[in-house]
């Protein structure tokens, strides 16, 4: 088994939840939390409740995009030396496949391209039964910090 990873240094769900999903920001307001990290993926979940549904009682597409962009941004930021670089979103798109009325949705982010100045991430969102509910592609710019 290989110890190789796309992430720059060690990464854990506990550390990410503590440092990257601060109270008072949108991700915490929506109940987003990281639940798993692997060598080339991250998984987060979000409740489907009064914070994330639209008026007809199904998951709001904007909430799905917020989940996808939150997870994609966090994953992308761990693929660079965060002392030297930072990540900004450039483009996100989504196809909403199936409605969700309750429970949790689970997003999995995997890299498609990890370049020096840009990254592209695939984010799939599934319901608790594992059925695909949304698929998103997220592109970020990798920018050098002014030191």
Could you read off the pLDDT of 35-77 as tens digits, one per residue? 999 999 999 999 999 999 999 999 999 999 999 999 999 999 9
Q: Which helix (H) or strand (E) holds 119?
A: strand 118-126
* Least reliable range by pLDDT among 3-7, 10-14, 30-34, 142-146: 3-7
> What are the catalytic residues?
69
- Residue 11's nearest CA partner among 33, 31, 32, 40 is 40
User: In this predicted model, what pLDDT tens digit does every residue of 13-39 receive, in sequence order?
Assistant: 999 999 999 999 999 999 999 999 999
Q: Strand 42-47 vs strand 85-96: parallel, antiparallel, or unpaired? A: unpaired
Kindly report the average pLDDT of the chain as a whole number: 96
Q: Domain with 93 in it: what CATH number?
A: 3.10.129.10
The verdict on residue 5 lying in a domain is no
The verdict on residue 22 lying in a domain is yes
Range of the domain at 76: 13-144
Number of domains in the chain: 1
The verdict on residue 102 lying in a domain is yes
**Which positions ≥6 away from 86 have C-beta within 8 Å?**
77, 80, 142, 143, 145
pLDDT at residue 2 tops 70:
no
- The Cα-based distances of 99 to 30, 55, 86, 87 in angstroms read 18, 13, 34, 31
């Amino acid at each position: 088994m290989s110890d190789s990873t796309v992430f720059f240094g060690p990464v854990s769900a506990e550390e990410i939840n503590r440092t990257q999903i601060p109270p008072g920001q949108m991700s915490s307001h929506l109940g987003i939390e990281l639940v798993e990290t692997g060598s080339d993926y991250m998984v987060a979940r979000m409740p489907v409740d009064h914070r994330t549904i639209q008026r007809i009682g199904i998951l709001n597409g904007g909430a799905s995009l917020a989940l996808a962009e939150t997870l994609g941004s966090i994953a992308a930021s761990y693929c660079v030396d965060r002392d030297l670089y930072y990540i900004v979103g450039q483009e996100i798109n989504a196809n909403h496949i199936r409605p969700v009325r309750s429970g949790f949705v689970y997003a999995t982010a995997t890299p498609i391209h990890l370049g020096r100045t840009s990254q592209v991430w695939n984010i799939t969102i599934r319901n608790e039964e594992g059925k695909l509910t949304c698929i998103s592609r997220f592109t970020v710019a990798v920018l050098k910090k002014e030191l």
